[in-house]
Amino acid sequence: MHNLHIYPGALKSEEDGELLYRCLRSHQPILPQAADLGEIPLIIRHQHKLPVCTGEAGAYLRAVLQYQKYGQILDFSGMFIYKMNRLYYDGLKPQTRGSTL
């Protein structure tokens, strides 16, 4: 049986310390005073100290979009989305710590 170790956090690239967002943006962002998703019956899920915040955020967003489009809630797995992102989009070796997402 193989032990799977997942370490939280993104991998730091050499450019991370050199680039500032304010130097790259084309204009000053304008944020709304308030925002509302409406009456969407969603729950806040606890990730139980697992480093799957990107997967949980993706699952929550998919649920919101599903509700807005079809009027029903589907429960998406944050762990599944996180693992699929690591497998298909990160392009990292399995033993690599963290994620690029």
Per-residue pLDDT for the chain (101 aa), expressed as one digit of tens each? 556 666 666 666 666 555 666 666 677 777 777 777 677 677 777 777 777 787 888 888 888 888 888 988 888 888 888 888 877 777 777 776 666 66
Distant-in-sequence, close-in-space partners of 59: CB < 8 Å, separation ≥ 6: 45, 75, 76, 77, 78, 81
Domain assignment of residue 98, yes or no: no
Give the residue from 79, 77, 72, 78 showing the smallest Cα distance to 41: 72
pLDDT at 43: 73
Domain assignment of residue 50, yes or no: yes
Residue 72 belongs to domain spanning: 34-90
Count of domains forming the chain: 1
**pTM of the shown model:** 0.52
In degrees and rounded to multiples of 5, residue 42 shows phi and psi of: -105, 155
pLDDT at 55: 83
Domain assignment of residue 85, yes or no: yes
